[in-house]
Amino acid sequence: MYFEISDFNALRTALHRLEESLLKEHLSEDFVFTGKLVADELLSNVLQHGGKKAYFKVSLTGDELLLSVKSEDGFRPPEKSTLAEPLAESGRGLFLVDALCARREYTEEDGVKVFLKIER
């Protein structure tokens, strides 16, 4: 599955299509929620910090869900995530992504790639 996302309306549409696709694969509702949450955090970061367009790929491989997010201008998130202060209005997204995913990688070609262990 592939999406080009240029605004938050397109983001909502992509997340809805992701949800439908994962449910058709008979994945647990909790896993589908986690996948949507991770995708939302990564894509929102690109839209807020990394240019005007995000490129989003989704694939199922063996026992993993692979989400890949690349920004139009090559935005690269920090390698290490840190937890924001409890009262901060932002700064938790990448920390949540890292807590929920088996691993996170970055390449110039694919952007940010995260891997989630599939739960059925």
Query: Tens digit of pLDDT for each residue in 3-24?
Result: 999 999 999 999 999 999 999 9
Residue whose tokens read 């992509």? 14
Tokens at residue 2, please?
């592939």
Cα(8)–Cα(11) distance, integer angstroms: 5
This model's pTM is above 0.85: yes
Cα(19)–Cα(31) distance, integer angstroms: 10
Structural contact between residues 49 and 76, judged by C-beta atoms closer than 8 angstroms:
no
Q: What pLDDT, in 10s, does the model give residues 41-100?
A: 999 989 988 778 999 999 998 899 999 999 988 888 888 888 888 888 888 889 999 999
Structural contact between residues 19 and 36, judged by C-beta atoms closer than 8 angstroms:
yes
Can you give the CATH number for the domain in which 15 is found? 3.30.565.10
Structural contact between residues 38 and 14, judged by C-beta atoms closer than 8 angstroms:
no
Residue 42's domain spans which residues? 2-117
Average pLDDT over residues 110-119: 93
Q: Considering its fold, how many domains does the chain have in total?
A: 1
Q: Answer whether residue 28 shows pLDDT above 80.
A: yes
